[in-house]
Amino acid sequence: MKFTEQLWQEISPIYSAILTHGFVNELTLGSLPSSTFQYYIQQDALYLTDFSRALNQLAARATTPNDMLSFTQFAQNAILVERALHESYFTLYDIQPETAKMPACFAYINYLLATTSLQSVAVGAAAVLPCFWIYREVGNYIHQRASQQNPYRSWIDTYASEAFDQSVSQMLALTDQYAENASAAEREKMRDAFRVSSRLEWYFWNDAYTQNRWLV
Ligand SMILES: Cc1ncc(CO)c(N)n1
Ligand SMILES: Cc1ncsc1CCO
């Protein structure tokens, strides 16, 4: 079994919890309140900017030109996706840009930046992998069920697209390659990082769904 297949098996309960979450369910039906989607998209604009930084960090630290190129391309795409998707929704719903990261976004971004800066590139790669992989799977899951009139159609189409799928496959191959060259202890850290980020993906949606704010 591929290393990444093992990773996916290990987050199976987390992935199930994501698929059955109210946010994903209502996004699929198109009934998600626009205020909920607004919170999500404001936080996601902040997320994607720093996610791009985390990918650039991996690009700077990667050892082969091929890997550097992959990571810089992902980093660039994250900014481009942020612009395309968010500018259209920001205009559509007259959303003001937010500057404050709410708890899940704050936790997730800081975790990604710390991990891609201070851990090995292999562990950093495992930490960013859920952002690719979970979004592709959730995107496809929703795409199969959502109607053409769904107001969140362009969000859905982005993550169910051929281009996104290619990036995800490339990132999966990279991760398997890092795992092959890693020690058993290093692979253990990779598994932990993948699980932590997967859990934070659930929290990111849950914060939007509950409009979570700092209590103090
Ligand atoms: C929180 C989050 N994770 C992953 C992605 C995929 O890019 C995203 N846009 N937002
Ligand atoms: C994972 C990811 N999310 C938005 S863009 C991007 C990189 C795709 O190349």
**Domain residue ranges of the chain, discontinuous segments joined by +:** 3-209
Q: Which numbered atom of ligand 2 lies nearest the CA of 75?
A: 7
**Residue among 46, 162, 164, 166 to mutate when testing ligand 2 (max atoms within 8 A of CB):** 164
Cα of 109 vs centre of ligand 2, distance in Å, is: 15
Q: Which numbered atom of ligand 2 lies nearest the CA of 73?
A: 9
Amino acid at 15: Y
What pLDDT sits at residue 73? 98
Tokens of 35: 């205020």
What pLDDT sits at residue 28? 98
Asked if pLDDT for residue 147 goes beyond 90, the answer is: yes
Q: Which residues contact 198 (CB under 8 A, 6 or more apart)?
A: 11, 14, 15, 130, 134
What pLDDT sits at residue 95? 86
Dihedral over alpha carbons 47, 48, 50, 55 (to 10 degrees): 130
How many other CB atoms sit within 10 Å of the CB of residue 91? 9
CB neighbour class for 160 (10 Å; exposed up to 12, middle 13-18, buried from 19): buried
Q: Which residues contact 51 (CB under 8 A, 6 or more apart)?
A: 78, 109, 112, 128, 131
Asked if pLDDT for residue 23 goes beyond 90, the answer is: yes
Which residue owns the Cα nearest ligand 2 atom 1? 132
Q: Confidence class of residue 177 from pLDDT cuts 50, 70 and 90?
A: very high
Q: Which range has the worst mean pLDDT, 27-31, 45-49, 97-101, 121-125?
A: 97-101
ipTM over 0.90 threshold: yes
Domain 3-209 homologous superfamily, CATH: Heme oxygenase-like (1.20.910.10)
Ligand 1 close to Cβ of residue 47 (< 6 A): yes
Tens of pLDDT, residues 66-107: 999 999 999 999 999 999 987 789 888 888 888 899 999 999
Mean pLDDT of 182-211: 98
